[in-house]
Amino acid sequence: MKTMFVVNPVSAGGRTGKRWGIIEEGIRRQGIDNFSVKYTEGPLHAAYISSQAIADGYQIITAVGGDGTINEVLNGFYTGGGLFNSRTALSFISAGTGGDFNRMFLTGEEVDQRITSILQAKREKVCDIVKAEFPSWEGDSSIRYYINVADLGLGSETCVRINRSGKLLGGFLSFLSTVLTTLIKHQSFEASIYIDQQEIFRGKLTELALANGRFFGGGMMIAPNAEIDDGRLDIILIEDMKKMELLKCLPQVYSGKHQSHPKVRMYKGQKIDIACSQKIWMEMDGETPGTSNLKVELIPAAVRLVY
């Protein structure tokens, strides 16, 4: 399969760029050469590379980097009018710090084996994605698509801070330490939540996650029952919690056991509207492109995923 690898060289503190050169050389030594490589040069460049590669007839576009790189490559598949390219498959090699989307697809393969599997399209499934409408940081109306998780509240605040400060401690420790720092300053927010045009909540929230996949925040299983191909979005509400309550609940989120907590509500739906009494930072797939208010809509079976 004619494949384009879109490599984010600054992912994982620059380690991805260094490792990829060695990996690519090893693959080519095996006589495998039905692929091309392009390196990203800045924000949203991966989306441009992806769209150009699709226009050039590539059959698989593979993101090499973190969850944000996957997100950008995905957005390059958008063809307009709510439609996505159906001829080309999306793929990924998780080489970032968090690697949360990859946790749904742990194959046990080494990277060179994974590349061979991708080039041969050994494993494939049709994947739902999510359309999000929100204000950018400048206040302009924005539309962007995501494949894993978006959230408002404690998680998004953590992500904004970690993206500003870096992930020098690696995925798990970087996210955990930043969550604990964010906890000190975090304030719950007022929100009204509508799922498929029915109001299901009005009040104070600590966290709201809109999940297609199960994991976010460097390994937190925020949505234990989520499936990326079930045609429904998992909506997780964590009601207003005191700081000590949050601290006790935090370890449960890593194992998915938080769903039994009396202040945690879980729903499923396709269209979700969130109105907040103030601007709340928003995160999707590890990226932080804007704020609330937020509208999301699940698009079933939008892309083919090779993994």
CA 30, CA 215: separation in Å to the nearest integer?
A: 35
- Residue bearing the bigger pLDDT, 96 or 224: 224
Give residue 95's pLDDT.
Answer: 87
Nearest Cα to 99, choosing from 233, 8, 232?
8
Least confident of 48-57, 114-123, 198-207: 114-123
CA 64 from chain center: how many Å?
A: 14
Q: What is the pTM of this model?
A: 0.93
- Domains, the chain: 3-122 (3.40.50.10330), 129-301 (2.60.200.40)
Give residue 268's pLDDT.
Answer: 98
Q: If DSSP codes are grouped into helix, strand and coil, which group holds residue 289?
A: strand
- Residue bearing the bigger pLDDT, 195 or 14: 195
Task: State mean pLDDT over 214-233.
Answer: 96
Task: State mean pLDDT over 29-53.
Answer: 95
Give residue 93's pLDDT.
Answer: 94
Nearest Cα to 114, choosing from 27, 16, 228, 213?
27
What pLDDT band is residue 97 in, cutting at 50, 70 and 90? confident
Q: Could you tell me what percent of the chain has a pLDDT over 90?
A: 77
Q: Beta-carbon neighbour count of residue 176 at 10 Å?
A: 18
The pLDDT tens digits for 267-306 are: 999 999 999 999 999 999 999 999 999 999 999 999 999 9
Give residue 6's pLDDT.
Answer: 98
The pLDDT tens digits for 126-176 are: 999 999 999 999 999 999 999 999 999 999 999 888 887 766 566 567 778
What pLDDT band is residue 89 in, cutting at 50, 70 and 90? very high
Give residue 169's pLDDT.
Answer: 61
- Residue bearing the bigger pLDDT, 221 or 23: 221
Q: Could you tell me what percent of the chain has a pLDDT over 70?
A: 98
